[in-house]
Amino acid sequence: MATVDEVDADAYGLDLAADRLTGSDASDLERAAEAALRPRRLDEFVGQRVVRDQLSLVLDAAIGRGSSPDHVLLSGPPGLGKTTLAMIIAAELGASLRVTSGPAIQHAGDLAAVLSSLDEGEVLFIDEIHRLARPAEELLYVAMEDFRVDVVVGKGAGASAIPLTLPRFTVVGATTRAGLLPAPLRDRFGFTGHLDFYSSDELERVLTRSAGLLGSALQPQAASELASRSRGTPRIANRLLRRVRDWAEVRGDGSMDLRAARAALEVYEVDDLGLDRLDRAVLRALCTRFAGGPVGLTTLAVTVGEEPETVETVAEPFLVREGLMGRTPRGRVATPAAWAHLGLTPPADGATLFA
């Protein structure tokens, strides 16, 4: 079976803006670099205190009982640690991890084959679980609840379903779009952890840890500068760190200090809020082309030349969290902070949009 990082790369049929420095999605090469920086155990996993606490309770209880824990669903924007946590769950349970993804399962039969080859206690990680095909989804409900798959033998009127009992196993599902998961599937997960953006302090810890693993020292001021411009996302923090290291080695004196951090961020056009080209393009289009909105997601995405899904899962969550963009029933709107950030003046009647 494939490794987590191979499947991760496959999961993105559409290569979501992989060239963006602060995009939260990762290219194949980057996933290899990331693998080295992944925390292996729960106590190395920085931040997400609530999810970590809850999860450790679920896992410890299962270990104590000598049984498999409830199925776990992890949701949240790209790059916040869903895959990392899935690997940690298996490691904490001392179980082996099987990896697949929604897009990799084309037919219910593919999933039946994976399920029927599971051993007792194994963890099955299904990345991008919201992209499972409907028949596979239905098979999964039954397997998760009753630990059974019905193997269909024969065709047409003569076909019969032979129930096959499965050993106890744990599904860990990951999704960037929990809202797309049908309720029956969501209900089969005994524990759902929603990962949120990281605070600057937490990202500083991620950065310092990563720098240590890369064998270089990151000065505290540089760590804090990078943390505040990483869009609350460990993947981006690690990516910026590697660019700062490049800058320090090639143009600086080798030390990752504030000067190197600022210079590298400037080269890569990451602004003081951590926004990159796509984020700014989205905000700018919203303000200048649509007078601050409201405008529909698809129209907005077309204007900036991106897939609606990219704008929705990659750019929007952070813009909304930073109070730069609002989502209303009539569409996306720019907030006064967005106009201010772009150095633009909102239209005189714009105030009504935020009432």
First to last CA, the chain: 53
Q: In one letter, which amino acid is 183?
A: A
> Cβ-closest residue to ligand ATP?
81
Residue 239 marked in a binding site = no
d(CA 83, CA 73): 11
Hey, which residues are catalytic here?
Answer: 82-83, 127, 176, 235
Rule CB under 6 A: is residue 193 a binding residue for ligand ATP? no
| Residue of 20, 25, 59, 280 that binds ligand ATP (CB under 6 A) | 25
| Residue of 234, 252, 326, 346 that binds ligand ATP (CB under 6 A) | 234
Nearer to Mg ion (CB atom), residue 42 or residue 297: 42
DSSP 213-275: HHT--B-HHHHHHHHHTSTT-HHHHHHHHHHHHHHHHHTS-S-B-HHHHHHHHHHTT--TTS-
d(CA 354, CA 104): 43
d(CA 231, CA 91): 29
DSSP 16-34: TTTT-SS-S---HHHHHHH
Residue 235 marked in a binding site = yes
Rule CB under 6 A: is residue 34 a binding residue for ligand ATP? yes
d(CA 256, CA 245): 6
Look at residue 234 and give the partner it binds from ligand ATP, Mg ion, none, a contact being a CB closer than 5 to 8 Å depending on partner kind.
Answer: ligand ATP
| Residue of 24, 48, 75, 83 that binds Mg ion (CB under 5 A) | 83
For the bound state, the minimum distance from the C-beta of residue 143 to ligand ATP, rounded and expressed in Å, comes to 23
Look at residue 260 and give the partner it binds from ligand ATP, Mg ion, none, a contact being a CB closer than 5 to 8 Å depending on partner kind.
Answer: none
d(CA 20, CA 210): 21
| Residue of 20, 38, 131, 188 that binds ligand ATP (CB under 6 A) | 38
Angle among Cα 76, 78, 84 to the nearest 5 degrees reads: 85
For the bound state, the minimum distance from the C-beta of residue 39 to Mg ion, rounded and expressed in Å, comes to 14
Nearer to ligand ATP (CB atom), residue 23 or residue 293: 23
Q: How many residues bind ligand ATP (CB under 6 A)?
A: 23
Question: What residue has token string 């569409």?
Answer: 331
Binding site residues, Mg ion, CB under 5 A = 82-83
Binding site residues, ligand ATP, CB under 6 A = 8, 25, 34, 37-39, 45-48, 78-84, 174, 176, 206, 234-235, 238
